[in-house]
């Protein structure tokens, strides 16, 4: 009904956090310029992955809701908002399906970050061994 | 069916991203788009399965056709988002070159 709104909310918060982190990293990079560069993935880049997954998933899911006539182009935009019983069902769906969606996307992203960090830290020779195997 | 089509789109986009020669096509965005949607539809499918049980795996032909049509439309929308962003950001400078090219 409107489960994608939970992901949209998380996407807004993560986008804001990503922009702030990016700004902080830029100013930090200016102060430590010239020092040896650290081999790691910046947090802002990782947050960008999460924002793309959340925004992308939410937009495509919103399209599905338009397809099924649950989202309309006129106020209040959600057809469930016109009936109190439907509204209660919608909030229940947001609290269950919507929250689970956001949590699973975030969990997958967290695992992805861990794997990406281990790949970056892995010596190049080991990568070639993996390729040969 | 929508979940299945989106997962296939995500896998194909990821394989294309992995075998890319350079990053100028920004295929990573397409991967994130489809994987994000796939995860969300996966959760939706679990909740639907809990509700319908075995009936979930035997949908009516009409529902399946509608879901397949929706899945393909979702893939198309993802591709449109990606191509619009690619043209706007113009990482290869091809759009700029075309726009600034003087007519003979």
Total number of domains constituting chain A: 1
**Contact (CB<8Å) A7/B32:** no
Chain B hits for A7, CB-CB cut-off 8 Å, are 40
Q: Measured between CA atoms, how close is B93 to chain A, in angstroms?
A: 23
Residue A95 within any structural domain of the chain:
yes
Banded model confidence at residue A130, pLDDT cuts 50, 70, 90: low
Residue A133, in any domain of the structure: no
Is residue B62 included in any domain, yes or no?
yes
Complex-level ipTM: 0.88
Nearest CB neighbour to A57, from listed B29, B37, B77: B37
Domain count, chain B: 1
Residue A129 included in any domain: no
* Residue-number span of the structural domain to which A102 is assigned: 4-32+43-123
Q: Is residue A37 part of a domain?
A: no
Residue A131 resides in a domain:
no
Q: Is A13 inside a domain boundary?
A: yes
Determine, yes or no, domain membership for A132: no
pLDDT above 90 covers a percentage of chain B that reads 64
Q: Kindly write down the DSSP assignment for every residue of chain A, as one continuous string.
A: --THHHHHHHHHHHHHHHHHHHHHHHHHHHHTTTSPPP-S--HHHHHHHHHHHHHHHHHHHHHHHHHTTSB-SSTTSBGGGGSHHHHHHHHHHIIIIIHHHHHHHHHHHHHHHHHHHHHHHS-HHHHHHHHH-
B73-83: pLDDT as tens digits: 999 999 999 99
Q: Is residue B63 part of a domain?
A: yes
pLDDT in tens, B21-54: 888 888 999 999 999 999 999 999 999 999 888 8
- Is B104 part of a structural domain of the chain? no
Q: Is B36 in contact with A52 (Cβ distance < 8 A)?
A: yes
């Amino acid at each position: 009904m409107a489960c994608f709104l939970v992901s949209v909310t998380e996407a807004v918060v993560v986008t804001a956090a990503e922009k702030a982190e990016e700004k902080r990293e830029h100013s930090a990079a200016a102060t430590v310029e010239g020092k040896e560069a650290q081999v790691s993935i910046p947090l802002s880049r990782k947050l960008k992955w999460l924002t793309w997954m959340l925004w992308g998933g939410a937009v495509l899911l919103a399209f599905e809701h338009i397809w099924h006539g649950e989202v309309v182009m006129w106020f209040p935009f959600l057809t469930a908002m016109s009936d109190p019983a439907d509204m209660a069902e919608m909030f229940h769906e947001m609290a269950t399906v919507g929250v689970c969606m956001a949590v699973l996307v975030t969990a997958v992203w967290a695992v992805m970050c861990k794997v990406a960090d281990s790949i970056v830290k892995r010596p190049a020779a080991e990568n070639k061994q993996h390729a040969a195997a | 069916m929508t979940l299945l089509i989106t997962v296939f789109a995500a896998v194909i986009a990821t394989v294309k991203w992995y075998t890319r020669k350079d990053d100028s096509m920004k295929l990573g965005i397409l991967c994130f788009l489809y994987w994000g949607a796939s995860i969300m539809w996966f959760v939706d499918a679990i909740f639907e399965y809990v509700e319908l049980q075995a009936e979930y795996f035997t949908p009516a032909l009409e529902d399946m056709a509608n879901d397949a049509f929706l899945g393909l439309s979702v893939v198309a929308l993802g591709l449109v988002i990606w191509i619009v962003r690619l043209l706007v950001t113009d990482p290869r400078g091809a759009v700029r070159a075309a726009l600034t090219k003087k007519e003979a």
